[in-house]
Amino acid sequence: MCGIVGIISQNRFSVKDSLQRLKKLEYRGYDSFGYCYDGHLKKQVGEVVIPQNGDLTNKIICHTRWATHGGVTDKNAHPHLSCDKKIAIVHNGIIENYQELRSTLEKTGHIFTSETDSEVIAHYFEEKLKSMDIRSAIVEFFKDIHGEFAIVMTIQGDNNLYAIKRDSPLVLGIGNDTYYLASDIYAFSDATNNCIFFENDEFAIVSDSDYQFYDKKGNKITKTIQQLGWTQHTEDKQDYDHFMIKEIMEEPTVIERLIFSLKNEQKENLNKFLEIIRSSKKITFVAAGSSYHASLFGVYLFHKVGVNAQTLIASEFDNYVGLDDQSVVIAISQSGETMDVIEALKYAKNKGARILSIVNVPYSTIQRMSEVSLNIYAGQEVCVAATKTFINQVVLLMYIAHLLGLDVDVESLSNHIENLFKTKDKIIQIAEEIYKVDDLYILGRGIGYPIAREIALKIKEICYIHAEGMMGGELKHGTIALIEEGTVVISIMPKSNPAIYSNTKEVEARGAKIIRITNDISTTGEINVMHIKVEDETIFCILSTIVGQLLTYYVALKRGNPIDKPRNLAKSVTVK
């Protein structure tokens, strides 16, 4: 889940500019960072720090890390060097057979300075280049290495950058006199809209004036330059204290933007999407994290309109799914690069299934794997926690369900959210009452269940509170044993679902402190009741999600947590 940047140019450019480009990829990991240029190596624990010096170079590699193998230390930060310090590499992915490779290299005299799997790469090439040229060494690398990788490598005395790809994302940006290698287009989309995406088992040799792509056997291949119809500008917090609250407050705007796109530039793809759904016998969603909760929401709505649908967690997809050439699989992913989802789609393709997708990042791997793809148009989301992207995922699914027959006023949603924002003081009051707890539970039934799961995930991610979102009907099958005097239970209670009232009473009778999120007007003014003034159950549940997002934010604020960059997490999960 790391972010990598490599830049090579005919003209000298500032190291500071390179680190600013790396900063755009920090959502991929921020345990440590580092960079290497002209024999200078800098790496340290923590977020990317933009240097103030005016150093110039014409070639650099940079890295921001999410730790997998080896702890969060300066030594484990990238780039990694060979013994002679002439080879420097940055790597995103996992080398599965690194221990075997490391043992072999150590026997030939190589000395390792880190605990990482990635350092093996630098020593591997140092050893191979004793007996062969770099192109042949890369061909050998593809044969010998098990796992996934996006690698950018620089060698002292060599005027090229070398880029190698299997499974982990990698793209070449093509400027007028500068080439950019990066984990995704965010790193350079302000500088050029011309790029080439690496496919699996490809590598490229990039000089300051040219590039050449090769397959894993070393044969030259011709790649088509894509012209991006999209650019990405650096986001700032404006007048907000955190990106999370800024992105929550953007939700009415991004919903309107999504709906407008579905009526205009995305209309053709939307119609194809609908045609495939209507003609299928069964839809299977695949997703992870918040996107999985969005897919649960979608399954509920699809069932309401007579579409046979199910959803499966991406990491267990092949263990529980049944597919054939009549199957339709819909992938949902904010980044479009989620490795577990990509692996599930490979499995589905091998079974002959048709692939559709819902993503936020254009030109991503999942979008390129899809027969038809829809974009949620949420814009860049900087905070690790999914807020506006989750909302636009469920709004898109609700819009599709509406076109399939669901009676819901989708276009009223943004106004309902604006009205909800006017009640933030009540949410802040509830946050002040519960921010010290260590455990809490969120109950939901029907369409409220995926919302309970999503709110629990936000609370875990950002507040560092153990939270469990669960079906109200499952409460009595074990979990109720954990309820004692003062246990906080948040209940999502649409008045259209009386069963959730009974589940709430069950925990209240055992001493739980209940926080009700409801559209039952009879509860207006009660303590610890968040009343949402909307009749429709689907819209009520989306608004309940936003209550949960705001509650999470204000609880985390009271606890003094690092809201936008919570510990141990990254936004784009590109490892299994």
**Residues annotated catalytic, as ranges:** 2, 571
- Rounded CA-CA distance 336/345 in Å is 12
> Which 8-state DSSP code applies to residue 422?
T
* Closest C-alpha to 93, from 286, 317, 313, 342: 342
- Start-to-end C-alpha separation, the chain: 10
The answer for residues whose C-beta is within 8 angstroms of residue 289's C-beta and 6 or more apart is 386, 457, 573
> 286 forms bridges with which residues in the sheet?
312, 331
Q: How far apart are CA 528 and CA 464, in angstroms?
A: 22
Q: Residues, the chain, total? A: 576
Find the angle CA(555)-CA(560)-CA(564) to the nearest 5 degrees: 80
* Two tokens, residue 435: 């921010």
Calculate the CA 551 to chain-centre distance. 22
| Strand order from edge to edge, sheet including 328-333 | 309-313, 283-287, 328-333, 354-359, 372-375
Q: How many CA atoms lie within 13 A of 533 on its CB side?
A: 10
Which residues, 6 or more positions from 412, have their beta carbon under 8 angstroms from its beta carbon?
Answer: 539
d(CA 255, CA 395) in angstroms, rounded, equals: 7
For residue 162, give both structure tokens. Answer: 């070398």
Residue pair 157/182 in contact by the 8 Å Cβ criterion: no
Amino acid at 79: P
Fill in the amino acid letter for 248. I
SS3 289: helix
Sheet holding 529-531, edge to edge: 466-471, 439-444, 488-493, 513-518, 529-531
- Provide CB contacts within 8 A for 502, sequence distance 6+: none
What six digits make up the tokens of 468?
């469990």
Q: Half-sphere exposure of residue 123, counting CA atoms within 13 Å on the CB side?
A: 22
For residue 479, how many other CB atoms are within 10 A of its CB?
Answer: 15
